[in-house]
Amino acid sequence: MIRLTSYLAGSWFAGSGRHVPLVDPSTEEVIAEASSEGADFAAALEHARNVGGPALRALSFADRAALLKDMAKILHAHREELLDLAQKNGGNTRGDAKFDVDGAIGTLAAYATFGEALAKRVGDRRFLTDGDMFPLTRSPRFVGQHVWVPRTGVAVHINAFNFPAWGTFEKAAVALLAGIPIITKPATATALVTWRMTQVLVESGRMPAGSFQLVVGSTGDLLSRLGPQDHLAFTGSNATGAMLRGTAGFAEKSVRVTVEADSLNAAVAGPDVEPGSDLWNTLVRNIVTDMTQKTGQKCTAVRRVFVPAAHADALQEALVDALANVVVGNPLQDGVTMGPVSTASQLRDALAGIRALAAHATIVTGGAERLDGRGAPEGKGFYVAPTVLRAASATDAGPVHDLEVFGPVVTLLPYDGTASVAAELVALGQGSLVTSAYSDDRAWVETFVLGAAPSLGRLLLLSSKVADQATAPGMVLPALVHGGPGRAGGGEELGGERGLLFYMQRTALQGDSAVIGKLFAAPVPTAS
């Protein structure tokens, strides 16, 4: 059995005491164990702040971009091994494993590209300007200029169980490009992939000392030791995010926190989308993809489907027909297209959630009972059927706007087709990461966007012109911000260069234009 270790203060550390088992969710076989008991988190933080931070801040943006590019290459060289581990510990189909592992590698590569472009603008500078220099008095000599500089603390990243690769390295890519050292903590249940990726990077010798540390197991007293220059980025439940925000000392020390939490994402069909049209087929395909990819265990997966009442029967029939072709089972078996959820507790929560929704809506396919998956031992594995429910009313649907069932589950909600009503219904989710809207009616789209956007982090607008070109709603892109207001956590990650600002301090400079203009003014663009 594999015993996972943490990488702290430049050494691998084997925890003592009780070890937490990691299992194959397809068979419930124990495949590894982990503990961080006895870890010296004070030493880890000191190593990050005093060794990793200075090493990263000494690098230019071009140097940091080169680091990210090399990290992507190193991990890609181990891609096949990582995909195998993702299938074993995550219950992923091979396609789902690629979604996670390739997402991690691709985001590192994307941020390398962003860093290269940034370096072309700022040269060897290790800070960014915010706007132009401007006079503060009648004298043109006394001016102001805003700059962004890397903070001198550490970034603690706490990641969810569903994306042990992508979740880890999308956060890491941004922090490293900003010049901030990282202590990352994956969810223990699915930490095998993160652990191996860390091993590969450490063994390569490419990572600057202190720049990247790993905790496998409990964080102990780590969070209580964070200070005013430090950062916490968390992905997980809203309840846990609220608990972390309330960590002792965070308010007094102004520890910077960003949270990505629960999200009742929606898909909205406009009244002009006719059954059988290309746009309709895209709607159906995207819903089925979001339900079955990663077994619906994506923070961006659709949970609520708003469809004009006149087309509700047709959409129900189309989804039932498409989901009838989904084969649930052990992803290592030929023909299986959807694996289990990741843990026993996730299975319990998903089935309980379906039952709660079913008290106010009708199950039209699937159900709230555990399945025996194809190729799995009888009675073993965390399998749940892809499930569609239908409510009679979009507004009187019980917990559908409050309860996120983190699995392959959606609820159909008929509405009157009005854009303003659709926007109000989406907003009942109290803040979401993403919503997709399907329509060729520009007036409908404009009204819907202006009404729905305040409650959304991202809005995918699909028309007939881009139906066959667009990414699926659940695909998070490095160039766009990832996060959402309200119950979605109120945070933002990624977004190209925007993501760097979470790890930097904006400081207003006042002084002599000759000094500020020479040292800190925005660089003058040069002809390419």
| Residues listed for the chain | 528
Q: Which of 235, 233, 196, 201 is nearest to 216 (CA)?
A: 196
Do the beta carbons of residue 444 and residue 275 sit within 8 Å?
Answer: no
Question: Residue 525's pLDDT is what?
Answer: 58
Name every residue whose Cβ is closer than 8 Å to that of residue 11 and which is 6 or more positions away in sequence: none
Stated pTM of the model: 0.93
Task: Give dist(CA 338, CA 295) in Å, integer.
Answer: 6
Task: Kindly report the backbone phi and psi dihedral angles of residue 361, in degrees, each rounded to the nearest multiple of 5, phi listed first.
Answer: -145, 165
- Please identify which of the residues 260, 404, 492, 497 carries the catalytic annotation: 260
Question: Residue 110's pLDDT is what?
Answer: 98
* 3-state SS class at 453: helix
DSSP string, 381-407: S-EE--EEEE-S-SSS-GGGGT----S
What is the 8-class DSSP label of residue 374? B
Delineate the domains of the chain, giving CATH numbers in brackets.
Answer: 41-261+491-519 (3.40.605.10), 265-477 (3.40.309.10)
Question: Residue 524's pLDDT is what?
Answer: 60
Q: Is 287 exposed, middle or buried (0-12, 13-18, 19+ CB in 10 A)?
A: buried
Note if 317 is an active site residue: no
Question: What are the residues facing 3 on neighbouring strands?
Answer: 33
Do the beta carbons of residue 340 and residue 381 sit within 8 Å?
Answer: yes
Per residue of the chain (528 residues), give pLDDT as tens. 799 999 999 999 999 988 999 999 999 999 999 999 999 999 999 999 999 999 999 999 999 999 999 999 999 999 999 999 999 999 999 999 999 999 999 999 999 999 999 999 998 899 999 999 999 998 889 999 999 999 999 999 999 999 999 999 999 999 999 999 999 999 999 999 999 999 999 999 999 999 999 999 999 999 999 999 999 999 988 888 888 888 877 888 889 999 998 899 999 999 999 999 999 999 999 999 999 999 999 999 999 999 999 999 999 999 999 999 999 999 999 999 999 999 999 999 999 999 999 999 999 999 999 999 999 999 999 999 999 999 999 998 889 999 999 999 999 999 999 999 999 999 999 999 999 999 999 999 999 999 999 999 999 999 999 988 888 898 999 999 999 999 999 999 999 999 999 999 999 999 999 999 999 988 765 544
How would you list the strands of the sheet with 6-8, edge to edge? 11-13, 6-8, 212-214, 182-185, 155-158, 231-235, 256-260
Question: Residue 57's pLDDT is what?
Answer: 96
- Please identify which of the residues 33, 299, 493, 497 carries the catalytic annotation: 299
Note if 493 is an active site residue: no
Radius of gyration of the chain (CA): 24
